[in-house]
Amino acid sequence: MGLVNTSAIETLQVPHEPGEWVGIRSLLATEMDEAKEVRMKRVMDLWGDSLPSMSAVSNQQSGETEETLAQRVGQYDALTLLKYAVVSWSYEAPVGLEQVERLDAITRDWLVEEIVQRNTRPLASRKSSGGNSKQDTAHLSSSTLMPSSAAE
């Protein structure tokens, strides 16, 4: 089914901080779209008119090869993803936009990769399955999923 269960929270252990964890939820398509739009606007503001020529060079170099996680992550604004996905954590400060902005770069980058990996699929699997294979949604049946009331 294509509906997102936003009350299911997946608890991720922070690999570089023993004992710390972050609870994330799956993102709605509109939230992913917003994160992509924010990223595109920032890129356009930064590069302006030179962007089309840079894109052509990039496409020639990469061809239609497999898309990496880093490439998928680069399509989205990190803060927008974190704002929607992070719902709980073990840190002393309560979860909120101001606190999410205060994450160190290592934790932020790790967490954004985890969010993108769980909410997108590589280009090759999108082309081959049409988005309907069990593999596409396998991460949603993780044993670490729990109702949001259990995470608090």
138: pLDDT confidence band, cut at 50, 70 and 90?
very low
22 part of a folded domain: yes
User: How does DSSP assign 131-144, residue by residue?
Assistant: T-SGGGGGGGG-TT
Total of domains in the chain: 1
At 152 the pLDDT is 43
- Is the pTM higher than 0.75? The answer reads no
- Specify whether the CB–CB gap between 69 and 116 falls below 8 A: yes
Q: Which of 52, 55, 54, 72 is nearest to 123 (CA)?
A: 72
pLDDT of residue 43: 82
Q: How far is CA 81 from CA 32, 38, 57, 129, in A?
A: 7, 10, 28, 25
For residue 34, being part of any structural domain is answered with yes
18 confidence band (pLDDT: 50, 70, 90): very high
Which residues fall within 8 angstroms of residue 42, CB to CB, at 6 or more apart? 77
Residue 3 covered by a domain: no
pLDDT tens-digit readout, 29-75 = 999 999 999 988 888 888 776 655 545 545 455 555 567 888 888 99
For residue 124, what are the domain limits?
A: 8-151
Q: Is residue 1 part of a domain?
A: no
Judge whether residue 147 has pLDDT over 70. no
Predicted confidence (pLDDT) at residue 149 exceeds the cutoff of 50: no
In a domain, 25, yes or no: yes
Region of poorest pLDDT, from 18-22, 76-80, 111-115, 123-127: 123-127
- Give the model confidence (pLDDT) of 74-107 as tens digits: 999 999 999 999 999 999 999 999 999 999 999 9
Is 2 within a domain? Answer: no
Is residue 97 in some structural domain? yes
What mean pLDDT is predicted for residues 8-27? 97
What is the DSSP annotation of 47-99? HGGGHHHHHHHHHHHHTTPPPPHHHHHTTS-HHHHHHHHEEEESSSSPPSHHH
CA dihedral 48, 117, 25, 134 (to 10 degrees): 130
